[in-house]
Amino acid sequence: MNVVIRKLTVNDYNDIKKLDRELYEYHKSLRPDIYAKFIEMTPQDFEKDINDKNKYMIGAVVDNQLIGYLEAKFKDTYRDVLWIDALYVSPECRGKGIATKLMKETEEFARSKKLPIEFYAASENKSAIKLYQNLGYKIQRYTFEKD
């Protein structure tokens, strides 16, 4: 499988719309209390996002088909970071190193900007946690909830 990692373009809208819906459904299966309503991205929203200088959006392409993506943004909380908002690979393409390639490309980009990378992972998302730990990421804090 020849995977190409590249920046997203406006031509990726339909593929991103599909992948974004799949990602939402996956998150909803883990946390239906949080992911109660899906808000579909419009073509205008997508174009605005890919042209936003504070965002970093790349995709994984196989045979001209977008099969995964990573979306991040520059964020200033207590320090400047590159914050990963989303990482998703189609279920049929998982286990082939595609998420790793997306993460490695993002790490290179963050290094070029001299920024650390941060993100959240749901505690229920065991496969993502395993991926991140295999890539050398460490758990730095916990989020607690109570109804």
pTM of structure: 0.92
Cα distance between residue 41 and residue 26, in whole Å:
17
Taking each continuous run of H as one helix and of E as one strand, the counts in the chain are 4, 5
Cα distance between residue 6 and residue 59, in whole Å:
6
Domains along the sequence of the chain with CATH: 4-134 (3.40.630.30)
- Segment 55-111, tens digit of pLDDT: 999 999 999 999 999 999 999 878 999 999 999 999 999 999 999 999 999 999 999
Is residue 60 within 8 A of residue 101, CB to CB? The reply is yes
Q: Which ranges of the chain would DSSP assign to H, the alpha helix?
A: 13-30, 43-51, 98-112, 126-134
- Segment 6-43, tens digit of pLDDT: 999 999 999 999 999 999 999 999 888 888 888 889 99
